[in-house]
Chains A and B, each alone.
Chain A
Amino acid sequence: MLEIRNLHATVAGKDILKGLDLTVRAGEVHAIMGPNGSGKSTLAHVLAGREGYAVTQGTVRFEGKNLLELPPEARACEGLFLGFQYPVEIPGVSNLTLLKAALNAQRKHRGAPEIDATDFLVWVRECARVMGIDPKMLSRGVNEGFSGGEKKRNEILQMLVLQPRLAILDETDSGLDIDALKVVAEGINRLRAPQRAFVLVTHYQRLLDYVQPDFVHVLAGGRIVKSGGPELARELEEKGYGWLEAA
């Protein structure tokens, strides 16, 4: 589904990714862990197409397509979803407006007609129920005045509504209390399916107690320095990252 080969990227003239390789197949859940500043968030934004994140070398193929030549909206329409570490507030634009515009843009891309207004509401309310989000919040401005935890839950709500093929969740677990973490994990687990894949970018092992990954990778110095199964996450939790960076 996703094939990253020898990826080099710079942000503001600074080399951040220095030859990263990663392969994600349909149905898999990958966790990418690593110390602060190792390039985890950079990887997420390079995949989503953020401006100012320049790829200097390497290739990224998503479902056989050259991902890097697509603008961000086309990547989303192809089924790639980025759950933001810092979700953005858009005052005056309701969550429903954003979700409907996004869903219809993606449907249009697939050649499907616009969603019926009633079907849309029923669908969004159902997703909101799973995420424990008060339906009233759907009419509020996107992330406007939301707490940190509410913003993260809202990201997963968007993911549930849009049903992406590949979801990259950037530190979705940070700043969550244990109850919110469980709700977020429930949202992710609900979407796990043979045709769908996840890349969980996380600093801590916490989320992985609730969402069992198939693979765990350690990103350090802009490259993946170690890969393994779920046990690697526990090892990192005990030993920290120092022993890997030193290696």
Chain B
Amino acid sequence: MATQPEDLRELMRRREYRAGFVTAIESETVPPGLSEDVIRLISANKREPQWLLDFRLKAYRRWLTMEEPKWAHVHYPPIDFQAISYFSRPKSLAQRPKSLDEVDPKLLETYQKLGIPLKEQEMLAGVASPVAVDVVFDSVSVATTFKQKLAEAGVIFCPISEAVQEYPELVKKYLGSVVPFGDNFYAALNSAVFTDGSFVYVPKGVRCPMELSTYFRINERNTGQFERTLIIAEDGAYVSYLEGCTAPQRDENQLHAAVVELVALDDAQIKYSTVQNWYPGDEQGRGGIYNFVTKRGDCRGKRSRISWTQVETGSAITWKYPSCILRGDDSVGEFYSVAVTNNRQQADTGTKMIHVGKNTRSTIVSKGISAGYGQQSYRGLVRVLETAENARNHTRCDSLLIGDRCGAHTFPYTEVRNPTARLEHEATTSKIAEDQLYYCRARGISEEEAVSMIVNGFCKEVFKELPMEFAVEAGKLLAVSLEGAVG
């Protein structure tokens, strides 16, 4: 009855994807293919101003001249960008619902199944700690809750397409100011075809009264999701924002190429958390989401602070480097990451910390867990410019391997142009340890519980950065990712 390594692999292999259902709903989907006409169609459909159409077309023309990045440590067949549909929305959302009562019950049910009961949440407000939620289904936002309450505090939280209509001067000022339209291949593509996403604006001196959260769901087949999120925290403002993602279980790969831009002015703080659970593909590596995302925060103001916390358990391929530009003096950038690659999943993820201002500090904590045939790379850049007197960085990068067919790789890059900089880098790779499992089991703890306990312990430093209720969720998600029958 002794556990063989095979049993452990089996345990890792049989993960169950609980968000893999499809919502049967009538959708309007633009036929596959990308051209200036498609972009004009998206823009017209959203009744966008000319400047935004121009932004999209500029990005598209730049994109045509660019090549897909090849440097990441991931392998996949070439993507046919003409086979993807760039816009899809549930028919019932052709006119934006004015309140939750107008939302198609099937959509509400979808979110209920995913554990995001939009209706109850509004009703329970005041009892449980409320979280304002924006939900994006394929290419459009379904509903945003607690808008009224947030408005009272002066906080704007709405779909970005709505912000374009209602607050064009803010969007125009900040859109593309952190991630320029030609930043990279996928950012250019996103700038050309982005459909929806969230917009957050926290005015001077305001501490956002609740957690903000956006929930992204891809439902339609052959559809890409290109969301765009823009968060602005004015002087002394504070906001904590969380995004969650799921998609149905399908045999073909789907592309998700998002751009997230954060701007923190003097003394402002933005905490951005992600729990990413896109469909990872099956155990042979069929299907799953290609998650090619550009996320960047600009600590534009003095003493500003931006923290990225990510728990990445899904996607077939992840290509993602949430970064901070530490422009303001005494600004702080943080990156806390847990990434799980199981079966045939591949992830090339990490961060960039660009120190520009004086006394800027950055912290990087990356925890990678690989199982099955999963391949994972940490890729991180710490750049200290001439102007960045007394910059500090601490990087800690730990990998945990489960089984002997997975891989962990570390690619740390540093560029230091100021001699006062102090950089520290620690890296460890450990194997989950058969002896740790045995030790727990010899105390009466089942193998499954022991795996979950050990992995959660490994990730503790990152989980403690998540908002409380999401930390619990993340722990559970990790347990599900590693769940299976014990032999």
Instruction: Tell me whether B1 and A69 are in contact (CB under 8 A).
Output: yes
Indicate if B113 sits at the interface (CB-CB under 8 A).
no
Cα of A141 to Cα of B456 in the assembled complex, Å: 12
Bitwise interface map of B from 434 to 463 toward A, beta carbon under 8 Å scored 1, else 0: 111011111111110100011011111100
Q: Report B-chain residues with C-beta under 8 Å of the C-beta of A97.
A: 453, 457
Q: Report A-chain residues with C-beta under 8 Å of the C-beta of B457.
A: 90-93, 97, 141
Indicate if A225 sits at the interface (CB-CB under 8 A).
no
Instruction: Tell me whether A102 and B454 are in contact (CB under 8 A).
Output: no
Instruction: Tell me whether B4 and A73 are in contact (CB under 8 A).
Output: no
Q: Report B-chain residues with C-beta under 8 Å of the C-beta of A75.
A: 442
One of A87, A105, A141, A162 near B439 (C-beta < 8 A): A87
**Known contacts A71-B1, A90-B436, A90-B439; is-contact A105 B445 (Cβ 8 Å):** yes
Instruction: Tell me whether B449 and A105 are in contact (CB under 8 A).
Output: yes
Residue in B closest to A82 when the chains form the complex, CB atoms: B442
One of B2, B440, B447, B461 near A98 (C-beta < 8 A): B440
Which chain A residues (86-106) contact chain B, with CB distance < 8 Å? 87-93, 97-98, 101-102, 105-106
One of A68, A73, A92 near B444 (C-beta < 8 A): A73
Instruction: Tell me whether B2 and A52 are in contact (CB under 8 A).
Output: yes
Instruction: Tell me whether A76 and B442 are in contact (CB under 8 A).
Output: yes
Bitwise interface map of B from 464 to 475 toward A, beta carbon under 8 Å scored 1, else 0: 000000000000
One of B439, B446, B456 near A92 (C-beta < 8 A): B456
Indicate if A172 sits at the interface (CB-CB under 8 A).
no
Bitwise interface map of A from 56 to 96 toward B, beta carbon under 8 Å scored 1, else 0: 00000000000011111101110001101001111111000
Indicate if B79 sits at the interface (CB-CB under 8 A).
no
Instruction: Tell me whether B1 and A70 are in contact (CB under 8 A).
Output: yes
Q: Report B-chain residues with C-beta under 8 Å of the C-beta of A69.
A: 1
Indicate if B433 sits at the interface (CB-CB under 8 A).
yes
Q: Report A-chain residues with C-beta under 8 Å of the C-beta of B438.
A: 50-51, 72, 88
- In whole Å, how far is B15's beta carbon from the nearest beta carbon of chain A? 21
Instruction: Tell me whether A72 and B454 are in contact (CB under 8 A).
Output: no
- In whole Å, how far is A29's beta carbon from the nearest beta carbon of chain B? 21
Cα of A102 to Cα of B442 in the assembled complex, Å: 9
Residue in B closest to A53 when the chains form the complex, CB atoms: B2
Indicate if B3 sits at the interface (CB-CB under 8 A).
yes
Instruction: Tell me whether A105 and B442 are in contact (CB under 8 A).
Output: no
- In whole Å, how far is A95's beta carbon from the nearest beta carbon of chain B? 11
**Known contacts A49-B2, A88-B435, A88-B436; is-contact A72 B459 (Cβ 8 Å):** no
Q: Report B-chain residues with C-beta under 8 Å of the C-beta of A84.
A: 439, 442
Indicate if A224 sits at the interface (CB-CB under 8 A).
no
Indicate if A158 sits at the interface (CB-CB under 8 A).
yes
Residue in A closest to B446 when the chains form the complex, CB atoms: A73
- In whole Å, how far is A118's beta carbon from the nearest beta carbon of chain B? 22
- In whole Å, how far is B445's beta carbon from the nearest beta carbon of chain A? 5
Q: Report B-chain residues with C-beta under 8 Å of the C-beta of A76.
A: 441-444
Residue in B closest to A161 when the chains form the complex, CB atoms: B443
Instruction: Tell me whether B2 and A51 are in contact (CB under 8 A).
Output: yes
Instruction: Tell me whether A71 and B458 are in contact (CB under 8 A).
Output: no
Instruction: Tell me whether A98 and B443 are in contact (CB under 8 A).
Output: yes
**Known contacts A51-B434, A97-B453; is-contact A92 B445 (Cβ 8 Å):** no
Instruction: Tell me whether A71 and B445 are in contact (CB under 8 A).
Output: no
Cα of A30 to Cα of B258 in the assembled complex, Å: 66
- In whole Å, how far is B77's beta carbon from the nearest beta carbon of chain A? 38
Number of interface residues of B (CB under 8 A): 27
**Known contacts A50-B2, A88-B436, A92-B458; is-contact A72 B453 (Cβ 8 Å):** no
Cα of A73 to Cα of B449 in the assembled complex, Å: 11
Cα of A73 to Cα of B2 in the assembled complex, Å: 10
Q: Report B-chain residues with C-beta under 8 Å of the C-beta of A106.
A: 444
Indicate if A129 sits at the interface (CB-CB under 8 A).
no
- In whole Å, how far is B486's beta carbon from the nearest beta carbon of chain A? 8
Q: Report A-chain residues with C-beta under 8 Å of the C-beta of B461.
A: 92
- In whole Å, how far is B91's beta carbon from the nearest beta carbon of chain A? 48
Which chain B residues (396-442) contact chain A, with CB distance < 8 Å? 433-436, 438-442
- In whole Å, how far is B84's beta carbon from the nearest beta carbon of chain A? 41
Residue in B closest to A49 when the chains form the complex, CB atoms: B2
Instruction: Tell me whether A101 and B453 are in contact (CB under 8 A).
Output: yes
Cα of A82 to Cα of B459 in the assembled complex, Å: 28
Q: Report B-chain residues with C-beta under 8 Å of the C-beta of A88.
A: 433, 435-436, 438-439
Residue in A closest to B447 when the chains form the complex, CB atoms: A73
Residue in B closest to A102 when the chains form the complex, CB atoms: B443
**Known contacts A91-B458, A93-B453, A105-B449; is-contact A71 B441 (Cβ 8 Å):** yes
- In whole Å, how far is A216's beta carbon from the nearest beta carbon of chain B? 25
Cα of A162 to Cα of B436 in the assembled complex, Å: 19
Residue in B closest to A80 when the chains form the complex, CB atoms: B442
Indicate if A226 sits at the interface (CB-CB under 8 A).
no
Residue in A closest to B440 when the chains form the complex, CB atoms: A98
Q: Report B-chain residues with C-beta under 8 Å of the C-beta of A98.
A: 440, 443, 445, 453
Cα of A50 to Cα of B438 in the assembled complex, Å: 7
Instruction: Tell me whether A73 and B458 are in contact (CB under 8 A).
Output: no
Q: Report B-chain residues with C-beta under 8 Å of the C-beta of A109.
A: 444
Residue in B closest to A143 when the chains form the complex, CB atoms: B439
Instruction: Tell me whether B443 and A162 are in contact (CB under 8 A).
Output: yes
Instruction: Tell me whether B458 and A77 are in contact (CB under 8 A).
Output: no
Cα of A106 to Cα of B443 in the assembled complex, Å: 8
Instruction: Tell me whether A90 and B444 are in contact (CB under 8 A).
Output: no
Instruction: Tell me whether B3 and A51 are in contact (CB under 8 A).
Output: yes
**Known contacts A88-B435, A92-B461, A93-B453; is-contact A51 B445 (Cβ 8 Å):** no
Partner-B contacts on A (CB < 8 A): 48-54, 68-73, 75-77, 81-82, 84, 87-93, 97-98, 101-102, 105-106, 109, 141, 158, 162
Known: A93-B457, A105-B445. 20 other contacts (CB 8 A): A48-B442, A49-B442, A51-B2, A72-B442, A73-B443, A73-B444, A75-B442, A81-B442, A82-B442, A90-B436, A90-B453, A90-B457, A91-B458, A92-B457, A98-B443, A101-B453, A102-B445, A105-B444, A106-B444, A162-B444
Closest 8 pairs (CB-CB, A-B): A92-B457, A93-B457, A51-B2, A76-B444, A102-B443, A72-B441, A88-B439, A92-B460
Partner-A contacts on B (CB < 8 A): 1-4, 433-436, 438-447, 449, 453-454, 456-461
Could you list some 9 contacts between A and B, CB below 8 A?
A54-B2, A71-B1, A71-B447, A73-B446, A73-B447, A81-B442, A88-B433, A89-B436, A101-B440
